[in-house]
Amino acid sequence: MFKVAQELIGILGIDQRRLRLEWVSSSEGARFAEVVTGFTEQIKELGPCGLKQAA
């Protein structure tokens, strides 16, 4: 399902790096923080998505 969603946003012209799927168990607090921080940084780097209503 994730692969499908990623391919679809690709066709829609949305950067595929904006979508990510990671599995983190409840015992991996440090890893959870790492994944979320990493993803947040990536999104910040990419900047605003820029989706706006077509004129």
Partner 1 sequence: MAELANLIEATSTYFCLDCGVCTGSCPVARVFPQFSPRQIIERSLYGIEDFSDESIWDCLTCAQCSVRCPVNIDFPEFVRLFRDEAHGRGYSGVPTHNGMLQSIWAIQTMDIQQNRTFWVQEGKVAEKGDIFYFVGCRPYFDVIFRDIDAGSIKGAQNVLKILNACGIEPVVSNDERCCGHDALWNGDEETFKRLASINLEIIKASGAKKVVFSCPEGYLIFKRFYPKYFGDLGFEPVHILDFLAEQLKEGALEFKEYEGVVTYHDPCRLGRMAGIYDPPRELIMAIPGIEFREMTRARENGVCCGTSGWINCSGYSKEIQVERLSEAAATGAGALITACPKCQIHFRCAKAASDLEVDIIDLYDLFSANLNISQ
Annotate each residue in 20-49 with x if it binds partner 1 (CB under 8 A) or - if it does not, as one string: ------------------------------
Query: Could you give the CA distance from residue 38 to residue 13 in angstroms, rounded to a whole number?
Result: 23
Rounded to the nearest whole angstrom, what is the least distance from the CB of residue 34 to partner 1 in the complex? 29
| φ/ψ bin of 19: left (φ > 0), alpha (ψ from -120 to 50), beta (otherwise) | beta
Q: Which of 2, 13, 25, 27 binds partner 1 (CB under 8 A)?
A: 13
- Judged by beta carbon, residue 11 or residue 30, the one nearer partner 1 is 11
Query: Could you give the CA distance from residue 16 to residue 4 in angstroms, rounded to a whole number?
Result: 11
